[in-house]
């Protein structure tokens, strides 16, 4: 199992706009692979949800 560092979580947050816990969960499931984490988040709809919440000002 890959170590999930704060810098990995930060990079994923910057690239997706998703929340910290969502990013950490996605990275854990993808064993630290950012590209796979992004792909999985797209499939689950987490990226779209994060963008909508930012647009609404939540």
Residue 3 confidence (pLDDT): 92
Chain centroid, CA 3 distance in Å: 15
Binned at pLDDT 50, 70 and 90, residue 47 comes out as: confident
Assess whether pLDDT exceeds 70 at residue 55: no
Mean pLDDT (the chain) is 88
Q: Which CATH architecture has domain 6-56?
A: Orthogonal Bundle (1.10)
The domain spans of the chain are 6-56
What pTM was estimated for this model as a whole?
A: 0.78
pLDDT of residue 2: 80
**What pLDDT sits at residue 28?**
97
Helix/strand/coil (H, E, C) string of the chain? CCCCCHHHHHHHHHHHCCCHHHHHHHHHHCCCCHHHHHHHHHHHCHHHHHHHHHHHCC
């Amino acid at each position: 199992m890959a170590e999930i560092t704060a810098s990995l979580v930060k990079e994923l947050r910057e690239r997706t706009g998703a929340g910290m816990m969502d990013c950490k969960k996605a990275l854990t499931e993808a064993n630290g692979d950012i590209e796979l984490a992004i792909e999985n988040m797209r499939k689950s709809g987490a990226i779209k949800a994060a963008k909508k919440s930012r647009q609404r000002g939540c």
